[in-house]
Amino acid sequence: MENAQVQVKSFEEEGKLITSLRAEINKVIIGQEYMVDRIIMGLLTGGHILLEGIPGLAKSLTANTVAETIGIGFKRIQFTPDLLPADILGTEIYNQKTGEFVIKKGPIFTNILLADEINRAPAKVQSALLEAMQENQVTIGDVTYRLDKPFLVIATQNPIEQQGTYPLPEAQQDRFMLKLKIEYPKREEEKQIIERFSKDRVNEPPLRKILSHDTIMQLRNLIDEVYVHENIKNYVLDIIFMTREKNIYIACGASPRASISLIKASKCKAFMEGRNFVIPDDVKSVVYDVLRHRILLSYEAEAEDITSEDLITQILEKVNLP
């Protein structure tokens, strides 16, 4: 019993770090708690994040702000149609003085990489990034380099202005643990945004660094210890397998990667709430973010304007709670 009490106390104490992290981020970001929490979740689980929303909703600013509050590397790539894989991964450069090739590493060699407007780059560039995300390594010439941990990709894409873009195929979207749909801020929040960002912010003090590299890795180990009851595991499997059942609106259901992501996200949600065990509400709170990009809609669904969110809602209504 004493060990259990110590463990719970540890979870509660470490959870205070997340509260401090949120407070520091809120010095810059107004509202958007959902996006902030999910980015933190990606950082603590090693799961990459895909942000979808119209321009001007603070997607890039939020990613940059999170990086500022953490003592790890951060780089940003603006994806464009003329981008090459070498611009991301790096390349070999011939040194005329030594007569040898030297490696110039690309911006992917960092801890947090912001891939801005990923759907602006051609498929070859997208594939190079997604392969590195999956394998956590990059090959330049004949040499393979492991990427540092933690390594998190936060990709943004614009759902409008699709002319001249290269939308991510569903199979490649599956590499992202979460896909977030970012909405407009509330009226009162936007009023605060106007008041804060219409002033000169040059003299504002820099953000404090709340988490370090070692702290993040310690938190990841702690999240691994979050308890998941067999009933919760079966609940997750019931949801996933129902996406694979015959349904005129679903062309292809969620992969096993979805099951893993749903468990990992649920464990992190429990940790961020100060608990060392997962409850059904943890699963329900993250299931839309885990599954919305993993359910391939049929022509019938598109014709009847049925979204993946609609189907997830129907599945949750059918699956029995543990």
Q: Which of 291, 177, 283 is nearest to 226 (CA)?
A: 283
How does the average pLDDT of the chain come out, rounded? 86
Tokens linked to 232: 């919760």
Question: Is-contact 105 146, C-beta < 8 A?
Answer: no
Which of 186, 218, 250 marks a domain boundary? Answer: 218
Q: Which of 158-167, 225-234, 268-277 tops mean pLDDT?
A: 225-234
Is residue 6 very low, low, confident or very high in pLDDT (cuts 50, 70, 90)?
Answer: very low
| Residue 2 in domain | no
Which of 187, 218, 249 marks a domain boundary? Answer: 218
Is the peptide bond preceding residue 150 cis, with omega within 30 degrees of 0? yes
State pLDDT tens for residues 168-221: 877 788 899 999 998 888 888 888 888 877 776 666 778 888 888 888 888 999
Q: Of residues 284 and 3, which shows the higher confidence score?
A: 284
Residues sharing a CB contact under 8 Å with residue 110, sequence separation 6 or more, in sequence order? 73, 74, 75, 148, 151
Q: Return the CATH number at 117.
A: 3.40.50.300
Task: Check whether residue 114 and residue 39 sit in a common domain.
Answer: yes
State pLDDT tens for residues 234-279: 999 999 999 999 899 999 999 999 999 999 999 999 999 888 899 9
Question: Is-contact 294 239, C-beta < 8 A?
Answer: no
Q: Flag whether the pTM goes above 0.85.
A: yes
Q: Containing domain of residue 144, as a range?
A: 29-202+211-218
| Residue 13 in domain | no
Total structural domains within the chain: 2
Q: Return the CATH number at 289.
A: 1.10.8.80
Q: Of residues 187 and 163, which shows the higher confidence score?
A: 187
| Residue 120 in domain | yes
Mean pLDDT, residues 83-112:
86
pLDDT of residue 103: 83
